[in-house]
Amino acid sequence: MPTPARLHVAHALHEVFGEKGRVPDIWDRDLGEDAHLAQALLGLCLRRWGRLQAWVKPKLKDPARGVPLGTQVALAMGLVQLAWLPGVSDHAAVNEAVELAATRDLGFVPHKGLVNAILRRAAKDRAGLAAELEALPAALDRTPATERALKAALAPHGAEAGLEELWARLQQPPRPSFRVLTGEPPEGLEPDADLPGCFRLAEEAPFPRPWLEAAQGMVQDRSSQALLAYSWDRPVARILDACAAPGGKTTTLALRHPGAELTALEVHPRRVARLRQTLQQRGLSAQVIQADAAEWLERSDTAFDLILLDAPCSGSGTLQKHPEWPWLVHDDLPRLTGLQRRLLTAAADRLAPGGLLIYAVCSWLPEEGAAHRDWLAEARPGLQPAAVWPADRGAPADAEGGRTAFFRPHPLRWEGEGFQAFAVARAAR
Ligand SMILES: C[S@@+](CC[C@H](N)C(=O)[O-])C[C@H]1O[C@@H](n2cnc3c(N)ncnc32)[C@H](O)[C@@H]1O
């Protein structure tokens, strides 16, 4: 029987390539010390999937026919360990992959011998295997949806030539960023020189799990932190976080505007529970409502001084953290952009005089960000762009007097998730 770490990785790969589903956030929860190996193994399988399959193909009896997913998974896991995980012995890499191939629901039993033969041969020269795999074109690991997302990230900055550089950066597992909620940061976190209040995990430092579990700090991506560092000095009495779970940004809003009345909406019941739990653990209060934000806003007669609409989106900006993103089916963009437009319209219409609305998506695709901004400028001329971020957080064309109303950091110069956010304000009466 393969080790639990390898079984978890195999399950995750079947979820992505068989079901076209995301890797669940807590997929490695019960793995203890083996979580490190499992994370590295899964990350490399997903990030190098295209080249792994391309390397195997000519070694098959019938390359055109290919092999079942169970065989692909066993081979990919074995090859990754042999090529890039030097701490794993030949014996463990090969035998466990063969056992996996022989596992009924995860492997493909008739291909046990094939997996054994290919991996045994590869194990004879692990450095040579790594060199062969590295020499294959990086584009094999991308899909058309990925190419489109990368081009969309670079285009506003006139940096289209940097596609390979951006892709190479996104292949590195992200270095986590944190925010302190109470007290001092633990050892191993160092201040981010470019982003006040943000802390990064130092090289080789242990992940600060006990500190996070004690709700003294939270994980928050640099881009989310930077976009919530908007400059705004008008009074804020009522805040709406329209799409709030799991509550990272709700937390920041509550801490930034402690005297304000905060309403947090979320449509999915399980995520509402998570949001409530997050706020409770952090000792923060908000009125949490389970509702479709568009419907709720369309019925509401409350006007808000600050609205954050962190809308559901394709997540194309998160492919460094979610290396499965390239391999998922992305056919629901029309539904998402329709929902985003409806949420944006409803939110804009509940903005109080003198109020600020921030629309955000963790996506580079123009139809999820720039297009909505342009549409809103036409459809709601009473709202004016609000330049609440430093100009270098946006594209050069969006800068006005050292500031910008359109947050979309340069993907090659900014370490953080890909985001588009724009801010508009209603004139005070
Ligand atoms: C990008 S996530 C929000 C992340 C959150 N702001 C944070 O920083 O922790 C979008 C959230 O919107 C929720 N959502 C999707 N459609 C919604 C709708 N119609 N009304 C309210 N929430 C919705 C999703 O379930 C998801 O939790």
Dihedral angle of Cα 133, 159, 331, 337, to the nearest 10 degrees: 150
* Contacts of 362 by beta carbon, 8 Å cutoff, 6+ apart: 223, 313, 315, 316, 317, 318, 417, 418, 419
Task: Calculate how far, in angstroms, residue 311's C-alpha sits from the geometric centre of ligand 1.
Answer: 6
Q: What proportion of the chain, given as a percentage, has pLDDT over 90?
A: 94
Distance 364 CA to ligand 1 centre (A): 18
In terms of DSSP bridges, do strands 238-241 and 261-266 run parallel, antiparallel, or are they unpaired?
Answer: parallel
Measuring from atom 15 of ligand 1, which residue has the nearest CA? 312
- Which residues does residue 217 pair with via DSSP β-bridges, in sequence order? 180
Which DSSP category does 312 fall into?
Answer: -
Question: For atom 11 of ligand 1, which residue has the closest CA?
Answer: 243
* 223, 227, 241, 243, best to mutate for ligand 1 pocket (most atoms within 8 Å of CB): 243
| Beta-strand relationship, 177-180 and 217-219 | antiparallel
Closest ligand 1 atom to residue 246 Cα is 9
State residue 305's pLDDT score: 98
pLDDT digit string, tens, across residues 145-155: 999 999 999 99
Indicate which residue of 45, 198, 313, 362 is catalytic.
Answer: 362
Ligand 1 surroundings by CB, under 6 angstroms: 243-249, 265-268, 271, 292-294, 310, 312
What are 199's strand-pairing partners?
178, 191
Under the banding of pLDDT at 50, 70 and 90, the label for residue 1 is confident
pLDDT score of 394: 97
Does a cis peptide bond (omega within 30 degrees of 0) precede residue 144?
no
The tokens describing 9, both together, are 């990785």
Binding residues for S-adenosyl-L-methionine: 243-249, 266, 292, 310
Distance between CA atoms of 107 and 96, rounded to whole angstroms? 11
Asked if 45 is an active-site residue, the reply is: no
Binding residues: 243-249, 266, 292, 310
361 has which bridge partners?
Answer: 420
Shortest-distance Cα residue to atom 12 of ligand 1: 243
Question: Phi/psi class of residue 365: alpha, beta or left (left: φ > 0; alpha: ψ in -120 to 50)?
Answer: beta
- Going from the C-alpha of 123 to that of each of 44, 52, 82, 130, 239, the distances in angstroms are 18, 15, 6, 11, 59
- Look at residues 284, 292, 238 and name the one whose alpha carbon lies nearest to residue 265: 292
Ligand 1 centroid distance, CA of 62 (Å): 46
CB atoms within 10 A of CB 3: 15
Name the closest-CA residue to atom 6, ligand 1: 244
pLDDT tens track for 252-290 = 999 999 999 999 999 999 999 999 999 999 999 999 999
Tell me: pLDDT of 24 over 90: no
Domains in the chain and their CATH numbers?
A: 4-140 (1.10.940.10), 177-219 (no CATH), 222-426 (3.40.50.150)
User: What pLDDT, in 10s, does the model give residues 225-249?
Assistant: 999 999 999 999 999 999 999 999 9
Report the alpha-carbon distance of residue 123 to residue 371 in Å, rounded.
51
List, for residues 192-207, the tens digit of each pLDDT value.
999 999 999 998 899 8
| Centroid of ligand 1 to alpha carbon of 49 (angstroms) | 30
Average pLDDT on 307-335 reads 96
Using the 8-state DSSP alphabet, how is residue 253 labeled? H
Span from the CA of 310 to the centroid of ligand 1 (angstroms):
7
CB 118 within 8 A of CB 165: no
pLDDT single digits (tens) 75-99? 999 999 999 999 999 999 999 999 9
